[in-house]
Amino acid sequence: MKQRPIGYLFIAPATIHLLLFAWIPIAYAAYLSLFKWDLLKDSKPFIGLKNYADTLQDQAFWNAMWNSTRYTLVSVPVGMVVALFVALMINQKLRGITLFRTLYYIPAISSGVAVSMLWIYVYLPEHGLINTILMRFGQNIDFLSHPAWAMWALVFMSIWTGLGPRMILFLAGLIAIPTSLYEAADLDGSTPWKTFWHVTLPMLVPTTFFVLVTSTISAFQIFTPVYMMTRGGPEGTTDVVGYHIYSEAWEKFHVGLASAKSFILLLAILAVAYWQFRAMKSQLEGYSTTVS
């Protein structure tokens, strides 16, 4: 292949930007994390790995990690199953189907702040949309200030907002499955259920993997709804790690400690993504042999 050094010029602006706003900050964050760095104080002593050691012993941090984990463990699988189901429903040749596709996407494009405000109202005790219905059965739940409910209220909302993109991804996966495979299954006298398990699902493995990894990463970084709706409360039950780090950095101004915490979070995310990749890898290999 002929070398074309002019390529450097083409990629220069984007690469400089990437260096300046992604890689240098990463290095800078690593540097910060070695200091007792308080934005309000002039003295910023070097303390080595103490921030990391402190983080590992910080109950509030692990509470936040656990909150993010349970948020992710429920919102991602449930959200994916719902999205797959909707994608299957919408992958049919019916009149007006694209209209539904558009409608279902609307929650996802909405402003996070507006949606959060809307859902605070939906969850309002007594007068909220949900409690108006529950009151008919004599129930009234203050979703966002009850420690047992607040997290699930956020999860439910995330399934609502996250449906659109996941549904489109699954739909793309479904469309890409060659019809010949279905025809073959038909010839074998397979039932629709069997076809779904033995043809559709295996063929969707790469899509599922992609949806899983991106959803996990974004679920671990959820911030706006927590900031707007619960502020980590009640009793720290919705203090997810994204909000926890925000508050360490921008409410307490301990940016050194917050940097250490965000590195530990990054490691955790990478580990989970790698583990997901490993778990899916065998499936992926199975997929590539089917196709080729």
Partner 1 sequence: MKRKRQLPLRLRSWFVRALRVVVVYAALILLAVFLLAPFAWMVLVSLHPSKAPIPTMQTLWPQQCELIGFNPTRCWEQFHWENYAFVLSMPDIPVARFFFNSIVVTTVVVAGQLLVASLAAYGFARLTFKGRDFIFLMFLLSMMFAGPVTQIPVYLMVRWFGWLNTYAALIVPGLGSAFSVFLFRQFFAAIPKELEEAARMDGAGDLRIYAQVIMPLSKAALATAGAFSFFAVWTDFFWPLLATNSMEMRTLEVGLSVFKNSYGATNWPLQMTAAVVVMLPLLVAFLFTQRYFTKGIMLGGLK
Partner 2 sequence: MKHFVRSLTLLVLAMVGGCSTITGDGRTVVRVATWGGAGDDSEFAKVEREIFAEFERQNPDIDIRLELIPGSQEYVRKMLLNFIARSEPEVMLLDASSAAVFVDNGVLKDLTPIIAKDQSFDLDAYFPNVVDIARRGDQVYAIPKDFTPMVLYYNRRLFDAAGVGYPKDHWTYEEFLDAAKRLTDRSRGVYGFKFANWMPGWITWIWNAGGDVLNAEGTMSSGAFDSPETQRGVEFLATLMKEGVSPSLSESAAMGVDLFTQGQAAMEISGHWALIGYAAAPKGSDGKPLLAMDDVGVAPVPTQLSSSQTVMYESGWAIGKHCKRVDEAWRFVKYMTSEEVQRKYARLGLAVSARRDVAEEIAAKDPREAKFFEIVPSARPPWGAKVEKYNPVETIGQNMMDSVLKSGKPIPEALRHAANQVDKEFAK
Site for partner 2 in 120-149 (CB under 8 A): 125-127, 140, 142, 145-148
> Residue 270 binds which one of partner 2, partner 1, none, with CB within 5 to 8 A depending on kind?
partner 1
253 near partner 2, rule: CB under 8 A: yes
Residues 70-89 that bind partner 1 (CB under 8 A): 86, 89
Report the distance separating Cα 222 and Cα 67, nearest Å.
11
Report the distance separating Cα 211 and Cα 173, nearest Å.
11
Minimum Å distance from CB 49 to partner 2? 16
> How would DSSP label each residue in 139-151?
----GGG-TTTHH
Give me the 36-75 binding string for partner 2, x by CB under 8 A, dash otherwise.
Answer: ---xxx------------x---xxx---------------
> How would DSSP label each residue in 196-261?
IIIIIHHHTHHHHHHHHHHHHHHHHT--HHIIIIITT-STTTT--HHHHHHHHHHTS-BHHHHHHH
Minimum Å distance from CB 59 to partner 1? 20
Give me the 163-202 binding string for partner 1, x by CB under 8 A, dash otherwise.
Answer: x-x--xx-xxx--x--------------------------
From the centroid of its chain, how far is CA 133? 30
Residue with tokens 């605070």: 120
- To the nearest 10°, report the CA torsion of 253, 22, 17, 213: -130
Write the CA distances from 60 to 70, 240, 241, integer angstroms: 15, 10, 9
> Residue 202 binds which one of partner 2, partner 1, none, with CB within 5 to 8 A depending on kind?
none
Residue 257: name the closest of 42, 56, 43 by CA. Answer: 56
Which position among 165, 202, 206, 233 is part of the footprint of partner 2 (CB under 8 A)? 233
Residues 13-32 that bind partner 1 (CB under 8 A): 13-15, 17-18, 20-26, 28-29, 32
Minimum Å distance from CB 62 to partner 1? 16
Question: Which residues bind to partner 2, rule: CB under 8 A?
Answer: 39-41, 54, 58-60, 125-127, 140, 142, 145-148, 233-236, 250-254, 257
